[in-house]
Amino acid sequence: MPLFLLVTMHGARELGLSIKDYFSKPEHVVEGQLRMRAKYLNDCIYNFYYAAAEVEAWGMDILYHADGPPNSGAPFITNPDDIRKLKPPRVKDCPCLVKVLDSARALKAGVGDDAPILGVVMSPFSVPVMQMGFERYIELMFERPDEFNHLMTINEAFCVEWANAQLEAGSTAIVYYDPVSSPGITPKNKFMRSGFETAKRVISRIKGPTAIHFASERCLPISSELPATGAGAVGVSCVEDLVLLKNAFKQKMALVGNLNGIEMCGWTSRKAEEAVKDAIKKAGPGGGFILSDNHGEIPFQVPEDVLLSISEAVRKWGEYPLTWVQDDAP
Amino acid sequence: MEERQVYLERFENALLSLDWLAARKVFSEIAEHVKGEGSIADVEGFIVPVLEKIGAGWETGEVSLSQVYMSGRICEVLLGENTPVKTFAVKNTQKIAIAVLEDYHLLGKRMVKSVLLANGLQPVDYGTKSAPELAACVIKDGIEILLVSTLMLPSALRVKELRKILSDSGNGVKIVVGGAPFRFDENLWKAVGADATGKRASDAVGLVRKIMEEKNV
């Protein structure tokens, strides 16, 4: 069973650097990812720096923390009327994005085809939370359709360029983060007329495999619609039942998830093994399941011991054909 | 069906559909209905249960966050527009404040504030602050109940720092926390030294009232 341990900031710990310094140079991220793959026997390379890089590209300030992902500062769209004047940044002109491409190239040179290299994009439908603040964005979505559509057009153009640049640089697949499309945030009927259409338009233009990820948010109520986005896999949340998720996506999309990264901070080795075993039992049989966390980024606070326990548990319990699952059945 | 129940259902449906026109119409009818009483409490008796039901719907997955937010916003605007209800009877028996720790994701705070205001509870809004800044504001303003909203785990962990600064200065403010990290780890609020946590915006009202009652005993 594949293990996608989506570690980002832990690379800073590996190299003895601050998180800010770690992400300042692509060679740090390359070294960090290679060391973590070797340490945790990770089945992927995660060339993701931080979500706010996509608004840093617009000139937004980034807030750095000693113990968490770099965060977006004050939103740069403060008046919806200004949306019409916006032009998307060009990837090649943004140092914060160019370094991600540099690390993709170096990682590809380092691992070849031994492990998939995952690149990440923020969905055009979700990135406005950082661009304008959540509440202003919700108001825009429901009350200013013209400006909303214009913002989607701009964001879609950027997203496609950014995704394809990462694939060209050596990424194997793209993770399309779209929590705002979750029915937990946007009602389904609204999603069908907005986030769903955006996902279809963007994913169809991404020149490589794509996974859609809801960053801890729910997706079951829209599960029958998601295959039509073109994504081949879906990142699922710990708040939904993995058995129901498996049934909903069986033979349509691979499941990626769904370990609780927040709780993971306080796990014992035993608890880690139990959680892994439980997830494998529920979603592993028949394949189409990649064990991972449910948010798409392991919190910096998760101890190394827990990550090692997760890795060991996958090797212990995740060997197909998973005969122990039938043996475990009541 | 009882008239009150009809109003409640119509108002709820209008809010969930984000139909400003329908919401305004029902609200006017409600205001007329209680006009003779002229009491804020009667209007609140319609608004508050509807918002609480919508909030509960988010918890069970029937309602989305954007519907919860927009419902609160529509109610805020309608309450503000209607002269007889413009002036709230402020029900704070202690000074309340609300803040976001260390990031710019203000939605949770905005929603909690809406619900508190609809219930006649008036918090001081500190916006976004670091733990030391927030502690300084709490001490200076004599805040007795502090509601803290966080989106990210590192921000949630800063509550521990906040608590320490306040405790070291002898300040016994009650801290109520909320936000995604506390939803994903049920024990986190205790670990960071908070006094209570709420899963949804409307929980804040009950928690604040409980603290006020305990302090008044």
State the pLDDT at residue B217: 55
Number of domains in chain B: 2
pLDDT band at residue A140 under the 50/70/90 scheme:
very high
Chain A environment of B107 (Cβ under 8 Å)? 133-135, 138
| Co-location of B207 and B103 in the same domain | yes
Chain A environment of B103 (Cβ under 8 Å)? 63, 71
State the pLDDT at residue B90: 65
Q: Does B188 touch chain A (CB under 8 A)?
A: yes
Cα(B121)–Cα(B110) distance, integer angstroms: 14
| Co-location of B37 and B122 in the same domain | no
What's the average model confidence in pLDDT over A228-236?
98
Residue-wise pLDDT for A27-66, tens only, equals 999 999 999 999 999 999 999 999 999 999 999 999 999 9
Domain of residue B15: give its range: 3-85
| Co-location of B39 and B117 in the same domain | no
DSSP state of A174: E
How confident is the prediction for chain A on average, in pLDDT? 96
Q: Write the burial class of residue A38 (CB in 10 Å: 0-12 exposed, 13-18 middle, 19+ buried).
A: exposed
| Co-location of B78 and B126 in the same domain | no
| Co-location of B105 and B198 in the same domain | yes
Q: Where among B56, B85, B114 does a domain terminate?
A: B85
- Whole-prediction pTM: 0.93
Q: Does B66 touch chain A (CB under 8 A)?
A: yes
Residue A126, pLDDT above cutoff 90: yes
- The Cβ-side half-sphere exposure at A165, using a 13 Å CA radius, reads 20
Q: Do B58 and A184 touch (CB under 8 A)?
A: yes
3-class DSSP state of B176: strand
| Co-location of B148 and B207 in the same domain | yes
State the pLDDT at residue B2: 74
Residue A212, pLDDT above cutoff 50: yes
* Domain A3-328 belongs in CATH node 3.30.360.10: no
| Co-location of B108 and B143 in the same domain | yes
Residue B88, pLDDT above cutoff 70: no
- Higher confidence at residue B104 or residue B151? B151
Residue-wise pLDDT for B29-40, tens only, equals 888 877 655 554
Domain boundaries, chain A: 3-328
Q: Where among B31, B52, B85 does a domain terminate?
A: B85
The backbone torsions φ and ψ at residue B6, rounded to the nearest 5 degrees and listed phi first, read -60, -45
| Co-location of B126 and B172 in the same domain | yes
Q: Where among B85, B118, B150 does a domain terminate?
A: B85
- The CATH code of the domain that includes B23 is 1.10.1240.10
Chain A environment of B181 (Cβ under 8 Å)? 262
Whether residue B58 lies inside any domain: the answer is yes
Residue A25, H or E segment: none
Closest-CA residue in chain A for B111? Answer: A135
Whether residue B91 lies inside any domain: the answer is no
| Co-location of B46 and B113 in the same domain | no
| Co-location of B136 and B161 in the same domain | yes
Which amino acid is present at B71?
Answer: S
Asked if the peptide bond before residue A294 counts as cis, ω within 30 degrees of 0, the response is no
State the pLDDT at residue A258: 97
pLDDT band at residue A330 under the 50/70/90 scheme:
low
State the pLDDT at residue B86: 45
Chain B environment of A195 (Cβ under 8 Å)? none
| Co-location of B210 and B107 in the same domain | yes
- Contacts across the A-B interface (CB distance below 8 Å): 83
Whether residue B90 lies inside any domain: the answer is no
Residue B87, pLDDT above cutoff 50: no
The residue to which tokens 């070294």 are assigned: A31
Whether residue B42 lies inside any domain: the answer is yes
Cα(A24)–Cα(A300) distance, integer angstroms: 17
- The CATH code of the domain that includes B126 is 3.40.50.280
Q: Do B70 and A142 touch (CB under 8 A)?
A: yes
Give yes or no for a contact between A226 and A219, defined as CB atoms under 8 angstroms apart.
Answer: yes
Asked if the peptide bond before residue A321 counts as cis, ω within 30 degrees of 0, the response is yes
Which amino acid is present at A95?
Answer: P
| Co-location of B101 and B197 in the same domain | yes
